[in-house]
A and B are shown apart, each in its own frame.
Chain A
Amino acid sequence: MSEHQALKRPIITLPFLLLAAVALIGLYFLAIRFTSGMGFVTNLNSGYAWGIWVVYDIVVGTALACGGYALAITVYVMNRGEYHPLIRPALLASLLGYALGGLGAFIDMGRWWQFYNIFLPWHMNFNSVMLEVGLCVAAYILVLFIEFSPAFLEKFGANRLLKSLNKVLFAIIALGVLLPTMHQSSLGSMLIAMGYKVHPLWQSLHIQPLLAVLTALIMGFAVVVFEASFTAVGFRRPSETPLLTGLGKGVVGLLSLYLIIRFVELLLRGKLGLIFAGDLGSWMFLLETALFIFPLLVLLSPDRRQRGPYLLYAAVSMLFAGTLYRFNAFLINYDPGPGYSYFPSVSEIMVTAGVVAIEIMAYLFLVKKFPVLHSADPA
Chain B
Amino acid sequence: MKRRDFLKASLGGTAALLGSGAAEARGNLEPAEDAIGMLFDATLCIGCKACVSKCKEVNGMPPVAMGDETQYDAARDLSPQTLNVIKVYTEGEGLHKDQTVDGFAFEKRSCMHCVDPGCVSVCPVTALRRHPKTGIVTYDADACIGCRTCMVGCPYNVPQFDYRNPFGEIHKCQMCNQAGVERVDKGMITGCAEVCPTGATLFGSRKALLEEARQRMTLTAGELYNYPRGDVRSPDSHHEKAAPSYQQHIWGEREAGGTNVMHVSAIAFDKLGMPPLGERSYASISETVQHTLYSYLALPAVALAGLTFVVRRNTRDDEGGDS
Q: Whole-angstrom distance between the alpha carbons of A195 and B293 in the complex?
A: 20
**In the complex, chain B residues whose CB is within 8 Å of the CB of A123:** 125-126, 143
Q: Is B273 part of the contact surface with A, judged by Cβ < 8 Å?
A: yes
- B300-323 contacts to A, CB under 8 A, are 300, 303-304, 307-308, 310-315, 317-318, 321, 323
Q: Which residue of chain B has its CB nearest to the CB of A120?
A: B125
Q: Is A39 part of the contact surface with B, judged by Cβ < 8 Å?
A: yes
Nearest-neighbour CB distance to chain B for A29, whole angstroms, equals 14
Say which residue of A46, A49, A118, A197 sits within 8 Å of B145 (CB atoms): A118
Interface size of B as a range: 35 or more
Nearest-neighbour CB distance to chain A for B140, whole angstroms, equals 9
Q: Is A15 part of the contact surface with B, judged by Cβ < 8 Å?
A: no
Nearest-neighbour CB distance to chain B for A257, whole angstroms, equals 11
**In the complex, chain A residues whose CB is within 8 Å of the CB of B125:** 117-118, 120, 123-125, 131
Nearest-neighbour CB distance to chain B for A219, whole angstroms, equals 16
Q: Is A308 part of the contact surface with B, judged by Cβ < 8 Å?
A: no
Q: Is A94 part of the contact surface with B, judged by Cβ < 8 Å?
A: no
Q: Whole-angstrom distance between the alpha carbons of A134 and B125 in the complex?
A: 11
Say which residue of A134, A177, A210 sits within 8 Å of B311 (CB atoms): A177
- With A110-B146, A337-B157 known as contacts, the answer to whether A125 contacts B275 (CB < 8 A) is no
Q: Is A259 part of the contact surface with B, judged by Cβ < 8 Å?
A: no
The answer to whether A111 and B294 touch across the interface, beta carbons within 8 angstroms, is no
Nearest-neighbour CB distance to chain A for B114, whole angstroms, equals 12
- A194-227 contacts to B, CB under 8 A, are 194-197, 205-210, 213
**In the complex, chain A residues whose CB is within 8 Å of the CB of B142:** 114
Q: Produce 1/0 per residue, B163-182, CB < 8 A to A.
A: 11111111000000000000
The answer to whether B124 and A118 touch across the interface, beta carbons within 8 angstroms, is yes
**In the complex, chain B residues whose CB is within 8 Å of the CB of A195:** 118, 155, 256, 277, 282
- With A130-B147, A185-B293, A209-B293 known as contacts, the answer to whether A336 contacts B303 (CB < 8 A) is no
- B218-236 contacts to A, CB under 8 A, are none
Say which residue of A112, A185, A194, A196 sits within 8 Å of B18 (CB atoms): A185
Interface hub of A117, A173, A174 (most chain B Cβ within 10 A):
A174
Other contacts beyond A132-B294, A195-B155: 15, CB < 8 A = A34-B166, A39-B164, A44-B163, A49-B152, A111-B169, A112-B145, A115-B145, A123-B126, A124-B124, A129-B286, A129-B290, A130-B149, A177-B311, A181-B18, A337-B273
A interface list, Cβ under 8 A from B: 34-40, 42, 44-47, 49-50, 75-77, 79, 81, 84, 105, 108-115, 117-118, 120, 123-132, 134, 169-171, 173-175, 177-178, 181-182, 185-186, 189-190, 192-197, 205-210, 213, 336-340
- Can you offer 30 A-B residue contacts whose CB atoms are under 8 A? A34-B166, A36-B164, A39-B165, A46-B77, A46-B151, A46-B160, A76-B310, A76-B311, A77-B314, A79-B317, A81-B314, A81-B323, A109-B147, A110-B161, A123-B125, A125-B121, A125-B124, A126-B294, A132-B290, A170-B312, A174-B304, A174-B310, A181-B14, A185-B18, A193-B152, A193-B283, A206-B289, A210-B20, A336-B157, A337-B275
B interface list, Cβ under 8 A from A: 7, 10-11, 14, 17-20, 22, 77-79, 118, 120-126, 141-149, 151-153, 155, 157, 160-170, 256, 273, 275-277, 282-283, 285-291, 293-294, 300, 303-304, 307-308, 310-315, 317-318, 321, 323
